[in-house]
Amino acid sequence: MGWLVIGLLAWLGGWAINIRLAALPKSRLTGLAIPVIFGLSLVVIWESMVRGFDVSPILLPAPSAISVKFVGSLGILWQDFVQTVVKGALSGYAIGCGSAFALAIVIDRFPFLQRGLLPIGNFVAALPIIGMAPILVMWFGFDWQSKSAVVVVMVFFPMLVNTVEGLRATNMMQRDLMRTYAAGYWQTLLKLRLPAAMPFVFNGLKVTTTLALIGAIVAEFFGSPIKGMGFRISTEVGRLALDMVWAEITVAALAGSAFYGSVAMIEKKVTFWHPSQRG
């Protein structure tokens, strides 16, 4: 009973503080503090609900139990992280985004390819590509190469569509100006069109960060060596060791946020001129 009261208090208290803070003029501090307080009160509510209702750890472990498990198995978590994120997701992300970017520039050069490939690209971007995972695992084996291949296929089309759209972002006036400067194709591309495409390119890069992680983890469900986050999740679920599963989820969430955050930070540096970054 006591725990339930604490949970209720955390909820009301957190919400009250946030209402106060939200009424203050918007600043960097309130923009950071409010979501943090909201998140913290959620964790406290979770903890007290689990303790108050005596929820079995097989169903939902408490945050405290998860953090204990997390600290206790740092070695395994690190090994899984390297296998899945560094070897699988990052390599596939680099190959997939790089080749999609290159192909987008080629497509942009030839209007026929553009009219033919873009509808197909849009179509494929909406497909359940993750279903390719079992096939690619069959082709490339159980180790990280197949995970990397799944990631390549998953990030390729969103990236392609975004980049092609970005290359079209310049208007007639700007291109005419380049022509009056007697700029050739490559100069126009490097000096005008690629910089103008950057907001779209980064949109693609950001969207695909989560896809890359998902691809690498889900591909491990179809076969993997005895390490990796997807492997760990599926085997620990089988053993009903949910605290370990949640520890892996924490790693995945941290990795995903850090990945997304670092791309967003590069974006801020590169596209500082764009209205959405100046606000």
Partner 1 sequence: MIQRLWQRVAPVLSMVAALIVLWYGAAIWLNTHWAEDKAQRAGVTLTTAALIADTWSQEKPKLPAPHQVAHEIWKTTALKKITSKRSLIHHSKITLSSTLLGFALGTVLGITLAVGIVYNRTMDMSVMPWVIASQTIPILAVAPMIIVVLNAVGISGLLPKAIISMYLSFFPVVVGMVKGLRSPDHMQLDQMRTWNAGGGQTLWYLRLPASMPYLFTSLKIAMAASLVGAVVGELPTGAVAGLGARLLAGSYYGQTIQIWSALIMAAMLAALLVGLIGVLQRITLKHMGMA
Residue type, 186: W
Binding piece for partner 1, criterion CB under 8 A, among 34-42, 75-83, 161-169, 187-195 = 34-42
Q: Does 184 bind partner 1 (CB under 8 A)?
A: no
Q: Does 257 bind partner 1 (CB under 8 A)?
A: yes
166 vs 178, which CB is nearer to partner 1?
Answer: 166
Residue 108 near residue 167 (C-beta atoms within 8 A): yes
For partner 1, the binding residue among 4, 37, 94, 270 (CB under 8 A) is 37
74 vs 253, which CB is nearer to partner 1?
Answer: 253
- Rounded to the nearest angstrom, the gap between the alpha carbon of residue 13 and the centroid of all alpha carbons in its chain is 32
Q: Does 21 bind partner 1 (CB under 8 A)?
A: yes
Q: What is the DSSP string of 226-262?
A: S-SHHHHHHHHHHTT-HHHHHHHHHHHHHHHHHHHHH
Q: How many residues bind partner 1 (CB under 8 A)?
A: 59
d(CA 49, CA 256): 27
12 vs 22, which CB is nearer to partner 1?
Answer: 22
Q: Does 53 bind partner 1 (CB under 8 A)?
A: no
Q: What angle do CA 86, 90, 93 make, to 5 degrees?
A: 165
Q: Does 225 bind partner 1 (CB under 8 A)?
A: no
Residue type, 185: Y
* Closest separation in Å from C-beta 171 to partner 1: 22
10 Å CB burial of residue 182 (0-12, 13-18, 19+) is exposed
Binding piece for partner 1, criterion CB under 8 A, among 32-40, 74-82, 96-104, 193-201 = 32-40
Unique residue bearing structure tokens 């291949």: 149
Residue 178 near residue 192 (C-beta atoms within 8 A): yes
Unique residue bearing structure tokens 């759209």: 165
- Torsion of the alpha carbons at 225, 228, 231 and 232, rounded to the nearest 10: 130
Under 8 Å CB-to-CB from 83, ≥6 apart: which residues? 144, 225, 227, 228, 229
2 vs 128, which CB is nearer to partner 1?
Answer: 128
86 vs 177, which CB is nearer to partner 1?
Answer: 86
Residues numbered 73-132 forming contacts with partner 1, rule: CB under 8 A: 112-113, 115-117, 119-120, 123, 126-128, 130-132
Q: Does 135 bind partner 1 (CB under 8 A)?
A: yes
Residues in the chain: 279
For partner 1, the binding residue among 91, 222, 224, 247 (CB under 8 A) is 222
16 vs 102, which CB is nearer to partner 1?
Answer: 16
Q: Which residues bind partner 1 (CB under 8 A)?
A: 15, 18-19, 21-23, 30-31, 34-35, 37-39, 58-60, 112-113, 115-117, 119-120, 123, 126-128, 130-132, 134-135, 137-139, 209-210, 213-214, 217-218, 221-223, 229-230, 233-234, 237, 240, 242, 245, 249, 252-253, 256-257, 259-260
